[in-house]
Amino acid sequence: FVNSSYFGFSQEFSNVKQAITLVGVRTIKNFALWSAVFSLLPSPKCGPFDLQTLRQDSLRRGLFARLIGKLMGLKDTEDIFTAALLQDLAIPLLAKQQPTEYRQLLEETLRNRTALSVLEQRRFGWTHAEVGAWLLRQWHVPQGIADLVKGHTELDRWLGSPETERGQVAVAMSALLPTGVEGGWYERSRLDGAYDRIKGARWPGLEEVLLEVDEDFANFAPVLKIAHPVKSLALTYQEALASVG
């Protein structure tokens, strides 16, 4: 894991203690947490839902949130990274428990380009974000991570005070990335708007950020045994821009 090209070390490490010292205990613990959680999640047959695609989406969101957090000047982005990885952990559990309802919701999300959380709120009065946060608290995951998961569907709220809610902004922005089953990117313009609102004078363009996330994903995916998505984020972004241009 530590020998992944993502970390950029010029030599390979066979000594676990040395590797942990260089990468950090929290980074390794957070990846272990994510892997453990996903190993326990069900893979229900529920309309367009696919657990392996969710793993791809989750890794891209984690990498994106971490990069946005760094651009915003946060020195510690580990909780942001972990929360973005885990933000949708409740979806497969809910889809297994309520397959008929979630098949309808997931299909409507794709058909009408409406966020799943909006549809959940209308039907149930709660969202997968709230359920995910509750589960993490039951599992004694740090409160800060649970709070970030709970808030990942509330981007507009956090954009009202981006300087004090940088972690929430980063995780909520990552939720606007396309899913592997989407066949497009219906939240692209919203992500563009959020990025323009928070970016600093020396920040790269959003497409450049997405290219970096794609590169990081390519480095991590083999280590984590995750297949590559059909389309990269950068290509999906270019196609989404072209479709409205």
Residue 4 lies in a domain: no
Residue 5 domain-assigned?
Answer: no
CB 86 within 8 A of CB 132: yes
pLDDT at 192 over 80: yes
Domain of 176, CATH number, reads 1.10.3210.10
What is residue 174's predicted lDDT score, i.e. its pLDDT?
99
**Token pair for residue 237?**
């972004």
Task: Specify the higher pLDDT residue, 67 or 33.
Answer: 67
* Tally of domains in the chain: 1
CB 164 within 8 A of CB 119: no
- In 3D, which of 223, 221, 194 has the Cα closest to residue 209? 194
> Is the confidence at residue 3, as pLDDT, over 50?
no
The CA distance from 126 to 147, in Å, is 15
- Is residue 153 included in any domain, yes or no? yes
DSSP state of 230: S
Q: Is the pLDDT of residue 244 over 90?
A: no
In this predicted model, what pLDDT tens digit does every residue of 99-138 receive, in sequence order?
Answer: 999 999 999 999 999 999 999 999 999 999 999 999 999 9
Residue 63 belongs to a domain = yes
Residue 55, domain extent: 12-244
Q: Could you tell me the pTM of the whole model?
A: 0.90
Cβ–Cβ < 8 Å for 58, 224: no
Q: Is the pLDDT of residue 12 over 70?
A: no
